[in-house]
Amino acid sequence: MKFSATVEKLNKGISIVSRFVGTRVTLPVLNNVLIATEKGRIKLSSTDLEIGITTWITGKVDQDGAITIPSRLLSEFISVNNDPSINAQLKDSTLKLNSEHFEAQINGIDASEFPLIPKLPTTPFTTLSAAEFKQAILQTSFAAALDETRPVLTGVLLRFSGNVLKMVATDSYRLAEKTLKLERKAEKDLDLIIPTRTLNELSRIIDEESDKIQIIVGENQVLFSFANTQLTSRLIEGSFPEYEGIIPKETQTKIKLKTSPFTNAIKMASFFAREVANNIKFKSTESSLQIIATSPQVGENKSEVEAKTSGKKIEISFNAKFLLDVLANITSKEISLEFLSPTSPGIVRPETQKDYLYIIMPLKTD
């Protein structure tokens, strides 16, 4: 194998695939990145046996070949190298790298020992905007469960129906739902439960160069293809809970307020609520919302935010962290809070994002 490429492109490609190198693995090759030349391009791959990723970069290929190289050492050598381009040549199991001011020889492991990343069908199940999909991930994945006792709740549901995709995550205490319009109608109605880590990592590598993202579905696997990158992940087996029943069909209180001052008030209250399981209380009036946190150990904090309340006044308590999680991913300048009663789930809706809602269970109010 012999090729040359710009350090910038090689560094970007390695930074993408190195995120998925296995840690604490029994197979040494899982610590490595696969480097291969294919159809005049340079292919970089890695896997931790749960997620596999491949990205292609352009360069000048003089001789085909393949080798796996320790990810950490390769990443460090490339990231610190400030030369414009780099040459690579494989001899036996050693990759020789040289640029204007640096050279190195890195011992690798034969490419034949690298686990095969599953091959899926080539026909996309559907296509959608990469930027919108990234936003949907950010607005839902944080609500998934961390506890492995119910594996289906540790993932995000992707429910395809016609040209609509609903993305849903819940940990039984809160639920986030985002609705997307598909640019390409799905082949059939289908539910996929995708590990939260897969989607979070995917959102980190989708950038401004990523226009459309194709979703390809195989048996127990899903592939996301965008720009010059393909990410393959296992699916979580099982049935997602029928969540629609917990979404309140009616409300008796609606509070409309500006997102920024409301977020600041929640942050302030959270400092005082750490010792009481993040418990904060809301008290509504016609023109404001009071946010109160009381801790026997720390003291008390009270904030008042301008708001417009319609319907009944309410006193209700929530977990401050659960509110801050959703507020961090809302871009709308105004939101509405909707309640049926102090013991019923509350709803958070961005005023300019009608395709998104967040359900949060209340805490006991003293």
CATH of the domain at 100: 3.10.150.10
Look up residue 251 and give its two tokens: 């409300």
Question: Does a structural domain hold residue 289?
Answer: yes
Out of 196, 221, 244, pick the residue that ends a domain: 244
State residue 184's pLDDT score.
75
pTM of the model: 0.93
Question: Does a structural domain hold residue 119?
Answer: no
| 103-156: pLDDT as tens digits | 999 999 999 999 988 888 888 899 999 999 999 999 999 999 999 899 999 999
Angle at alpha carbon of residue 238, lines to 235 and 125, rounded to 5°: 45
Out of 227, 244, 261, pick the residue that ends a domain: 244
Task: Identify whether residues 226 and 162 lie together within a single domain.
Answer: yes
Residue 353 has pLDDT above 70, yes or no: yes
The domain total for the chain is: 3
- Between CA 138 and CA 330 the distance in angstroms is 10
State residue 26's pLDDT score.
81
Task: Identify whether residues 334 and 300 lie together within a single domain.
Answer: yes
| 44-73: pLDDT as tens digits | 999 999 999 999 999 999 999 999 999 999
Structural contact between residues 195 and 233, judged by C-beta atoms closer than 8 angstroms:
yes
Q: How long is the chain?
A: 366
Residue 33 has pLDDT above 90, yes or no: yes
Question: Does a structural domain hold residue 179?
Answer: yes
For 260, the domain range is 248-360
Q: Average pLDDT of 96-101?
A: 96
C-alpha distances (whole Å) from 215 to each of 105, 120, 182, 230, 235 are 39, 11, 11, 10, 13
Number of Cβ within 10 Å of residue 173's Cβ equals: 15
C-alpha distances (whole Å) from 285 to each of 103, 104, 305, 310, 349 are 70, 69, 10, 9, 19
pLDDT band at 91 (very low <50, low <70, confident <90, very high): very high
Number of Cβ within 10 Å of residue 329's Cβ equals: 19
Question: Does a structural domain hold residue 133?
Answer: yes
Residue 86 has pLDDT above 70, yes or no: yes
Out of 213, 244, 275, pick the residue that ends a domain: 244
State residue 122's pLDDT score.
83
Question: Does a structural domain hold residue 60?
Answer: yes
